[in-house]
Amino acid sequence: MIAPLFPPARQGGRPRATDLREVLNAIRYLATSGCQWRMLPKDFPPLSTVQRYFYAWRNSGLLTTINQLLVMTARQQMGREASPSAGVIDSQSSTPRKAAGIGATTRAKRSRGASGISSPIPAAS
């Protein structure tokens, strides 16, 4: 379903040796596991190859296009419209604005006794 979205190999030079499906699987593995780039298992293409394709596809918008296509397909398979018709925002999904003004810029004040600082020692004569 997403194979037609992959960019074709460049004209001239050596033919592409990397399987783009494996590159996409590596990117999905990184996103799912949250592991670092250098921790990519050896079952996937080399780290530098995966990084190069990831940054190129991210910059061109291909990853966003693939995501949108898969979401629309999944919604259709569930018997829903391809794109949602409405969005709902409630207090659980939005963060409240912080009120400015009273208490927003004042610092907590402590007494000298509570902080352990005693009065200055008088100088000896």
* pLDDT score for 45: 94
Nearest-10 Cα torsion for 50, 52, 54, 59:
180
pLDDT given for residue 50 in this prediction: 95
> Which own/partner contact pairs does 71-80 have at CB distance under 8 Å and 24+ positions apart?
73/1
Per-residue confidence of the chain (125 residues) as pLDDT tens digits? 888 888 888 888 888 889 999 999 999 999 999 999 999 999 999 999 999 999 999 999 999 999 889 889 888 888 887 777 666 777 676 666 766 555 555 566 666 665 555 555 656 65
How far, in whole angstroms, is CA 106 from its chain's centroid? 35
What's this model's pTM, rounded to 2 decimal places?
0.61
